[in-house]
A = this chain, B = another copy of it.
Amino acid sequence: MSTEKEVTIYDLARKLNISIATVSRALKDDPVVSKKTKKKIADLALELGYRSNNFARNLRTSRTNTIGVIIPRINSSFMSSVIAGMENVANSEGYNLIISQSSESAEKERVNAATLFNSRVDGLLVSLAYDTDSLAHFEPFTKKKIPLIFFDRTADKTEGTCIQIDNLRAAYEATTHLISQGNTRIVHITATPKRNVYIDRLQGYQQALADQRIAFREDYVIVGNLSQEAGADAAARIMEMKPLPDAVFVANDNCAVGCMTALKQAGIRIPADIAFAGFNNDPVSTVIEPNLTTVNYPGYEMGQIAARSLIDHLNGASSIHSTNTIILRSELIVRESSIRRKTNP
């Protein structure tokens, strides 16, 4: 039982005095091979420690059983969950995941796409970088009919499937909630409205204002990169506003936390002076005081669904190659940060 040289189907065939064709078929569980020979082959394969050579197989079949993933960054709780969900279904379906980060740079995204293309991935799962304008770097994939699925940060007009939540509605609900608590001067902190998620959230915010007959004010929209630091910067700007806004809706919990912390340090009380609502239901939202009202966003599930859709597609299970969009359920979680009138006096 030496592991020196790799065992091949030739070895199995020789030992059993049968042809490699039969061995190959048996190993693939081809129904055309008799149960008996199958068993013999399987047993010997196990005994000799045979493992199939994927390169040879791939070379023949030109499939890799590998899925490429491009994400802006892996270091948010949300994105980790997404990846975990993808890994979960990919693994159980015999696919491997190759993950690459664009670091929010369109240029790096381009390079990553090229690399994955050369790696001959069977399909691609993408969440776009902040500043990605053109989708030209994905053309090689679409040209070759390699399935492409966008999730979370999706593309406006694309051939591929999109998986996301209803950002507009979620933002609408969050804003409406803030208004229902008696707030009218509501600031919105977000990122450059290039990506659907931020555009839609902004629109939801605007629509909620409009529906409640509150005038939209351009200067109430603060644009940054949604980091904690950006939150602190936004806090500084908010404190300069007169009169002070009475609520803030942030497109991301992490940024909201940065902003809240800065405001608190300046002596502003939350929610008494300014109410807050965030987005993502990041773990920090239950650590910050007061706990942050936010939109729950099923990351793990989104990852699972994205991977599942892609694999179904690869297996020909889903014949639809038309532009279809999957909208996941999301929900507002109301916590202390936005509740104006406390029950205790």
Residues on A lying within 8 angstroms of B by beta carbon are 3, 6, 51-56, 58-59, 62, 64, 73-77, 79-81, 83-84, 87-88, 91, 96-101, 112, 115, 117-120, 140, 143-144, 228, 254, 257, 261, 283-284, 287-289
Nearest residue, chain B, Cβ from A77: B75
Expressed in whole angstroms, the minimum distance between the Cβ of A324 and any Cβ of chain B is 25
Which of chain B's residues have a CB closer than 8 A to the CB of A115? 91
* Contacts A/B (CB < 8 Å), 30 sampled: A3-B144, A51-B117, A52-B118, A53-B120, A54-B55, A54-B119, A55-B56, A55-B59, A55-B62, A55-B64, A56-B59, A59-B59, A74-B80, A74-B83, A74-B87, A75-B80, A79-B80, A80-B80, A87-B101, A88-B101, A91-B112, A97-B98, A97-B99, A98-B98, A99-B99, A228-B283, A257-B287, A261-B287, A283-B284, A287-B288
Q: How many copies does the complex hold?
A: 2
The answer, among B64, B84, B288, for a CB contact under 8 Å with A75, is B84
Which of chain B's residues have a CB closer than 8 A to the CB of A283? 228, 254, 284
Which of chain B's residues have a CB closer than 8 A to the CB of A52? 118
7 smallest A-B Cβ distances: which pairs? Answer: A55-B59, A55-B58, A75-B80, A55-B55, A96-B98, A51-B118, A287-B287
Which of chain B's residues have a CB closer than 8 A to the CB of A58? 55
CB atoms of B3 and A143 under 8 A apart:
yes
Expressed in whole angstroms, the minimum distance between the Cβ of A133 and any Cβ of chain B is 23
In the complex with contacts A98-B97, A289-B289, A3-B140 CB distance below 8 A:
yes
Which of chain B's residues have a CB closer than 8 A to the CB of A91? 100, 112, 115
Complex: A64 Cα to B75 Cα, angstroms: 27
Complex: A240 Cα to B63 Cα, angstroms: 60
Complex: A53 Cα to B73 Cα, angstroms: 29
Nearest residue, chain B, Cβ from A2: B143
Q: Which of A64, A73, A96, A119 has the most CB of B within 10 A?
A: A96
Complex: A52 Cα to B118 Cα, angstroms: 7
